[in-house]
Amino acid sequence: MEFSFDLLWEILPQLLRATVVTIEATLAGFAISLIVGLVMVSGMRARQRWLRFLSRFAMEFLRATPLLVQVYFLFFVLPGFGITLSPFLTGVTALGLHYGAYAAEAYRAGLESVPRGQWEAAVSLNYSRLAAYRHIVLPQALPPIVPSLGNIAISMLKDTPILAAVTVTELMFVANEIGSERFQYTEPVTAAALIYLVLSLAAAPLINFIDRRLRPEETRA
Amino acid sequence: MQIVWEYRQLLLGGVRITLIVTVLAAVVAVLMSFASGLARESRHRILRVPAIIYVELFRGTSLLAQLFWLFFVLPSFGIELPALACGVLAIGLCNGAYGSEIVRGALRSVPRGQREAAIALNYSPAQSFRLIVLPQAARVMAPLFGSLFIEILKASSLVSLITLPDLTFQAKNIILVHLNTTAVLSTVLVVYFVIALFISGGAQRIERALSRGVDHTAG
């Protein structure tokens, strides 16, 4: 068995087009997860006990159940309630919900890393709750969150093949399709795996760069 | 919920496969975590380099790509593994690469002074590792391995895509025949959640057992 570079060359354009879908799904899912995480972390810090409990439970549940089953759930159950989303939107929503729970955890850790005294100082300076968040707490809480969010984005990238299960034509779906059409899985699946490797290796320096840009001057190494 | 009861045998059979895959993959992952985590801390380049390549390769590519590679590509090299072996190997190897970081971080969390004290007391390197470093590192590892096992449980659902009849696979089959999807999928989600609760509960108990006699006030 040998690796055919001719075949690889032939299918590469198809795979690269699918890679675009993979990247789109990752970015869209990431954007949703940032918002979902924000909603959840707000819920966890709310004054109402029931809201705190509910947010906590949603977070734990989303994190403890498989993304694949969550994707199926959205894909097969939502239409029954009159909500019909395209496979891409379904997949992206599932990604956003699943990883939103992880984002919430990252936000929570960041917010808790801000010392209590900072809050007390803001209160004593007569800052409103909103102003305290905006000017005192968030600028300190955000930088340590960035690397965690970066890891979440990379994990999402590697979980996008799960969307193939609901026929989103992303990289793994196309690689698999080529494989079954030509009875030749070696080249497409190997190439797809390498593309994921390249993407996630490329993402790491990008996240480092953003991380460095967001850090306040004095703490830059 | 009637439909769930009707298909209980099928779903329970699926739970069995899910648990088998999870447990076996967890064993592979723990072995690989320790092997690669220790190798990366080694002084010898021959051990360090392969471990780094292993970790980067398996963390950098998608688990599903690895799974499909073992299932579809490996046979063309003359190695035909049963679906169960593919699932266990792919999930175990991939999560082992993540576990490698857990082992490394936990070993590094043990203060240097502990090793120095062991040397001063004339412990051999093996004794120092087994009696001084490992028990302290294990306490740090327990909750992190608990989370890793939950990731493995979730990842086990992917074996349904290489024809292993696990819980997800059976749920999908029932859905394709019947229209009542909400009950089946909700049940499946809850079952996964309950298994995950058992895993995190177990991890907590182990952590507590390992922390017995530790002076928490010393920080």
Strands (E), B71-204: none
In the chain, the amino acid numbered A145 is I
- How many CA atoms lie less than 13 Å away from B102 in the CB half-sphere? 24
Chain A contact for B22, CB < 8 A? no
Which helix (H) or strand (E) covers residue B137, if one does?
helix B134-155
Q: What is the CA radius of gyration of chain A?
A: 21
* Residue type for position A60: E
Q: Determine which of A8, A157, A158 to mutate to test the interface with B (most B C-beta atoms within 10 Å).
A: A158
Prediction ipTM score: 0.90
Rounded Cα distance between B98 and A87, Å, is: 30
Contacts of B62 in chain A (CB under 8 A): 157-161, 172, 193, 196
Where exactly are the structural domains of chain A?
5-219
C-alpha to C-alpha distance for A107 and A62, rounded to whole angstroms: 16
Q: Which residues of chain B have pLDDT under 50?
A: 219
Determine how many CB atoms are found less than 10 A away from the CB of residue B210. 17
Four-CA torsion B76, B79, B84, B88, nearest 10 degrees:
-100
The CATH number of the domain covering residues in A5-219:
1.10.3720.10
For residue B25, what pLDDT is reported? Answer: 98
Q: What's the farthest any 2 CA atoms get from each other in chain A?
A: 74
pTM: 0.90
Residue B89 near residue B27 (C-beta atoms within 8 A): no
Across chain A, which has 221 residues, the per-10-residue mean pLDDT values are 80 93 96 96 92 95 96 91 91 96 94 90 91 89 88 93 92 92 90 92 86 66 47
Of A66, A67, A189, the CB nearest to B72: A189
What integer pLDDT is reported at residue A221 of this predicted model? Answer: 47
Query: How far from B77 is each of A44, A61, A197, B92, CA to CA, in Å?
Result: 52, 41, 22, 21
Q: Does A70 touch chain B (CB under 8 A)?
A: yes
How far lies B21's CA from each of A68, B66, B71, B154, in Å?
A: 16, 16, 15, 11
Domains and CATH numbers, chain B: 2-218 (1.10.3720.10)
Distance CA B188, CA A76 (A): 14
Structure tokens at B25: 């993959």
**Best residue of A197, A198, A200 to probe chain B, by most B CBs closer than 10 Å:** A197
